[in-house]
Amino acid sequence: MRQWISAAKEVLERASTVAKFLCWIHVTDSYLLSSTVVQGASMLPTLNFAGDVVLTEHISQRLGKVGRGDLVLVRSPIDPNKILTKRIVGMEGDTVTFFADPHLGDYTISREVPKGHIWIQGDNMYQSRDSRHFGPLPYGLIQGKVFFRVWPPHAFGSLS
């Protein structure tokens, strides 16, 4: 009987250690720092079409420390299951001017970014669905600030 109790205690201790470790991973990934694979043409030439692995921190947007020029992960307003990587080009109160059709380049539109919103665009305006298509984005859709590329090795380094 004592052996059974001793074995049960050991199993519970190990299960407790595993549970603590998984909680630590969840908190770190959700609230502090995570890695993300970014693919597609919308952020060329900053990020590769075939895919980059980037590090994202999740503290700046909670503290209001994101601004023009920052690369951010945002939840898509069109498909909430998708996460987009774009650059902030306008903050609340800014007036943003952009080409209505970047392929023609002759007709520009100006929009003011409302309070509590940001304006995001891909670096490759010819291949990006961004605020030019769906308008200003609520600040709450920002998931994190991209700050470092870890893959591919030749491009390893800061993105700020």
Give the active site residues: 42, 86
Superfamily of domain 2-158 in the CATH hierarchy? Umud Fragment, subunit A (2.10.109.10)
> Which DSSP symbol is given to 39?
-
This prediction has a pTM of: 0.80
- In the numeric block, the tokens 């990006």 are attached to 128
pLDDT digits (tens, 9 = 90+) for 36-95: 899 888 898 988 888 899 999 999 888 888 999 999 999 999 999 999 999 999 999 999
Cα–Cα dist 59/20, whole Å: 22
What residue segments make up the domains of the chain, in order of their start?
A: 2-158
Cα–Cα dist 16/11, whole Å: 8
